[in-house]
Amino acid sequence: SQTIHQWPATLVQPVGSPLSLECTVEGTSNPNLYWYRQAAGRGLQLLFYSVGIGQISSEVPQNLSASRPQDRQFILSSKKLLLSDSGFYLCAWSAIHWEDIGSKLFFGSGTQLSVL
Amino acid sequence: DQQVKQNSPSLSVQEGRISILNCDYTNSMFDYFLWYKKYPAEGPTFLISISSIKDKNEDGRFTVFLNKSAKHLSLHIVPSQPGDSAVYFCAASYISNFGNEKLTFGTGTRLTIIP
């Protein structure tokens, strides 16, 4: 069965420090990978998605970047964190099903990031 | 531009009664709709979905209704149980130019079931 791992679960970082959040998926090949953020009092905002190694699409301009060095690894990074980067970050994957347009997203357990 | 809207940020329902969560969308390209349930400090989990070619999908206590002409969908939970207390996200999907599904989420509704 497929599993998704995301770490760390919580992170407290000072403003201006770097960030690296990692996500890995097991049990599937060629997944679509996503990074979402849930800011306080807001919905789930798509930050990045990737359909393959080295292929990253950014949904919103921001202080963050994403990379996919391996098929099942997705990394969210920042060189210098801002206060506004605080939030709950979620990694997710979906399978490519051309016949089934309703492929679901499967989420990791999330990382609560507090920038102080 | 909020393409998927959940206008009720919170809802309280007595245990055993029906919970109705509502969602509206604006983008006519959406062709698949999903509901996710989220507990605090956890990732959302898939609950139920519906294709745009249907107007109803039922799974146990959960039923999703879709009204395409009104661009409105709703989630019915009956009977409501304390374990249903969570934040519910509505999401809408379409195939992107890259061939992957792009989900747009609403802002969520916090459901509280009162024992």
3-state secondary structure of B9: coil
Residue with tokens 């009104």: B70
Count of A-B CB contacts under 8 Å = 71
Nearest alpha-carbon partner for A25 in A75, A77, A109, A93:
A93
Q: What percentage of residues in chain B have a pLDDT greater than 90?
A: 73
Q: What confidence tens digit (pLDDT) does each residue in B16-60 have?
A: 999 999 999 998 888 889 999 999 888 899 899 998 899 999 999
DSSP letters, chain A, are --EEEEE-SEEEE-TT--EEEEEEEES-SS-EEEEEEE-TT--EEEEEEEEETTEEEESS--S-EEEEEETTEEEEEESS--GGG-EEEEEEEE---SS-TTPPPEE---EEEEE-
DSSP code at position B16: T
Q: Do B101 and A109 touch (CB under 8 A)?
A: no
Tokens of A101: 């347009």
DSSP letters, B27-92, are -TT--EEEEEEE-TTS--EEEEEEETT-SEEEETTEEEEEETTTTEEEEEESS--GGG-EEEEEEE
Q: What confidence tens digit (pLDDT) does each residue in A12-24 have?
A: 999 999 999 999 9
DSSP code at position B2: -
What pLDDT is attached to residue A79? 95
Q: How far is CA A63 from CA A33, A66, B30, B105, in A?
A: 19, 11, 29, 22
Mean pLDDT of all residues in chain A?
Answer: 88
Nearest to B44 among A102, A107, A112 (CB): A107
Q: Confirm or reject contact between B46 and chain A (CB < 8 A).
A: yes
Q: What confidence tens digit (pLDDT) does each residue in A22-63 have?
A: 999 998 888 889 999 987 666 788 899 898 999 998 887 778
Nearest to A101 among B32, B46, B106 (CB): B32
pLDDT at B104 over 80: yes
A115, A82 Cβ separation under 8 angstroms: yes
Nearest to A102 among B42, B93, B105 (CB): B93
pLDDT at A101 over 60: no
Please name every residue paired with B7 in a beta bridge, in sequence order, or none if there are none.
none
Q: What confidence tens digit (pLDDT) does each residue in B53-85 have?
A: 999 999 999 999 999 999 999 999 999 999 999
d(CA B58, CA A12): 42
